[in-house]
Structures are given as structure tokens and as C-alpha cells.
């Protein structure tokens, strides 16, 4: 947060959106730590639930930063309508699952909300990307992906912004412009190998290699800034220089307490 506190006002966004996985395990202690840090940001911030989050603690700890609309509870969905760019936050979390998806309730809510401002540049924020990334261990599917695409691609003013991947990706998915935000911690190794590919070693197979996207290294954090220019949203990839040593890669299971 010290990095952002030193930026000039014109270098800051109007508000921040944190795209999920705020606390590993979704514990109250973890949320207290991250909330203390996020509260130091020089501009308002809003949060999106991820697969490591728990809805009850999440809402209890961030009532003002996730202003959930009554018509969609218990899903954590809401809109931010006052800025030059509109933001729609949707909940793609499936409890106790690593992958995500769209429920019927969230799909219907999104269809209703997205047409309220048909000409205003709009960013739809999710945690899980609905598209195939090529990082096999992370490509677990997305429930009702085609339904989400059908909703979004009807609107030329919409871009989809996701988290989850621990690496920045820019793509077009079924005609929808999509980005994933780089992480503030644990950079994912970009490894396009599949579990049964020719370059997988016997040692990796013995270690239950799931395919590329299952290892991380310690790189400099990153973030995206979305800027409106002549009714067009430009997305800028920004780096936070921390002096990271880029050590690794290590399997994610070590971080999750399954190794060592």
C-alpha cells in the first residue's frame, strides 16, 4: 500500500477493484490482515469473492467494500454506476471448489443489470475467467460459460476483467474482450505443457504433475489501470517494483501446506 500512497493524484485510479482470493482459507484473521492493508489505500476500494474466500466472513469484514444488492443475496453481486466507467461485480464462486461458474440467479441478475446503461463503457469483474487459458492445471472449466458469453457479447460496451490466474492475460473470447489481472503475490509460471505431453518428466509424473499453471515464482507485483479515452477503454499493465528476486518456480502445493 506504500507504493500507492506515494503516487501523485493523477496517477491513481478513481477506485480499486480487488478480484478475489483476499485471504487463503477465508479466515477472519486473514481478512483482518488484508483489510488493515487495503484501508490504507488512498482511494476507495471494492472487493470480488474468489475460490479461497468464504461468503459469510467476506461480507462481515467488507460491508462497505462489497455493497451487495438485496435482490441477489446471498451472492456477492453489485454495481458501481457513478464513475465514467461502470463496474459490475458478479460472484462466480462455487463453495468448496477451485473452479467457478455462473448460477441461474447470477445470470438473470447480470442480464437485468447490464442493460440499465446500454451506452456506458462497462467492466464486468469476476474472479474466475470463463475461457481456456492454456495453463492446463488451471483450466478446470467454468459452469455455464456459454451463457455468460451469450449475455456479454450482445453488448459492445462491455469488457470482462478476471483474477484467479496469477498472471496477466489479454484475449478475445467468443467476441468478448477479456483480461486477467496480474497478481500482487505469487506469479504463476507460464507453462503450456499438459499432463500427458511429451515434455513431462517421470519425476513430475511421480509428483502428481497436473499440467502447466501449477507452479509459482516470486516476481514483482502488478495491477491494471483501465482508462477511458473517447468512449474507448484502454487497459494498462503496471508493475510495482519491489526488488523481487524471481526465485522459483515452486509447486503451489508447498504454499498450501501440502509439502515440506
- Which of 128-137, 182-191, 203-212, 227-236 shows the lowest mean pLDDT across its residues? 203-212
Question: Which helix (H) or strand (E) is 114 found in, with range?
Answer: helix 104-114
Q: What is the pLDDT of residue 259?
A: 38
Cα–Cα distance measured from residue 104 to residue 114, given in angstroms and rounded to the nearest whole number:
15
pLDDT band at 26 (very low <50, low <70, confident <90, very high): confident
174: pLDDT strictly greater than 90: yes
Angle 170-20-44 from CA coordinates, rounded to 5°: 95
pLDDT band at 67 (very low <50, low <70, confident <90, very high): very high
257: pLDDT strictly greater than 60: no
For residue range 233-256, what is the model confidence (pLDDT) as tens digits? 999 999 999 999 999 999 887 655
Cα–Cα distance measured from residue 219 to residue 200, given in angstroms and rounded to the nearest whole number:
24
Beta strand segments in 4-52, E: 16-18, 45-47
Q: pTM for the whole thing?
A: 0.94
Q: Can you say whether the dihedral through the CA atoms of 9, 164, 46, 107 is positive or negative?
A: positive
- Which of 13-17, 111-115, 210-214 shows the lowest mean pLDDT across its residues? 210-214
Neighbours of 206 (CB within 10 A): 8
Strands 78-80 and 86-89: antiparallel
For residue range 98-155, what is the model confidence (pLDDT) as tens digits? 999 999 999 999 999 999 999 999 999 999 999 999 999 999 999 999 999 999 999 9
Any residues with CB less than 8 A from the CB of 181 and at least 6 apart, and which? 19, 161, 162, 163, 168, 222, 223, 224
Any residues with CB less than 8 A from the CB of 150 and at least 6 apart, and which? none
50: pLDDT strictly greater than 70: yes
pLDDT band at 11 (very low <50, low <70, confident <90, very high): very high
Place of cell 462455487: 94
Amino acid at each position: 500500500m506504500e507504493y500507492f500512497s506515494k503516487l501523485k493524484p493523477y496517477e491513481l485510479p478513481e477506485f480499486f477493484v480487488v478480484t478475489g482470493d483476499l485471504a487463503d482459507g477465508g479466515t477472519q484473521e486473514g481478512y483482518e490482515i488484508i483489510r488493515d492493508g487495503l484501508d490504507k489505500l488512498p482511494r476507495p476500494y471494492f472487493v470480488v469473492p474468489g475460490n479461497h474466500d468464504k461468503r459469510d466472513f467476506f461480507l462481515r469484514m467488507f460491508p462497505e467494500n462489497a455493497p451487495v444488492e438485496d435482490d441477489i443475496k446471498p451472492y456477492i453481486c453489485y454495481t458501481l454506476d457513478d464513475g465514467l466507467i461502470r463496474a459490475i461485480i458478479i460472484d462466480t464462486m462455487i463453495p468448496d471448489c477451485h473452479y467457478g461458474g455462473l448460477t441461474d440467479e447470477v445470470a438473470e441478475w447480470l442480464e437485468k443489470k447490464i442493460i440499465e446503461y446500454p451506452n456506458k463503457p462497462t467492466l464486468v469483474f469476476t474472479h474466475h475467467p470463463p475461457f481456456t487459458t492454456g495453463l492446463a492445471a488451471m483450466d478446470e472449466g467454468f459452469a455455464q460459460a456459454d451463457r455468460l458469453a451469450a449475455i456479454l457479447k450482445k453488448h459492445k460496451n462491455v469488457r470482462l476483467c478476471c483474477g484467479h490466474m496469477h498472471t496477466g492475460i489479454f484475449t478475445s473470447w467468443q467476441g468478448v474482450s477479456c483480461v486477467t489481472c496480474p497478481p500482487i503475490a505469487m506469479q504463476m509460471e507460464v507453462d503450456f505443457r499438459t499432463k500427458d505431453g511429451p515434455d513431462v518428466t517421470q519425476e513430475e509424473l511421480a509428483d502428481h504433475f497436473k499440467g502447466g499453471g501449477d507452479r509459482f515464482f516470486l516476481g514483482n507485483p502488478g495491477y491494471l489501470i483501465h482508462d477511458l479515452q473517447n468512449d474507448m477503454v484502454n487497459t494498462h499493465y503496471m508493475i510495482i517494483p519491489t526488488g523481487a528476486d524471481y526465485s522459483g518456480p515452486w509447486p503451489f502445493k508447498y504454499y498450501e501446506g501440502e509439502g515440506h
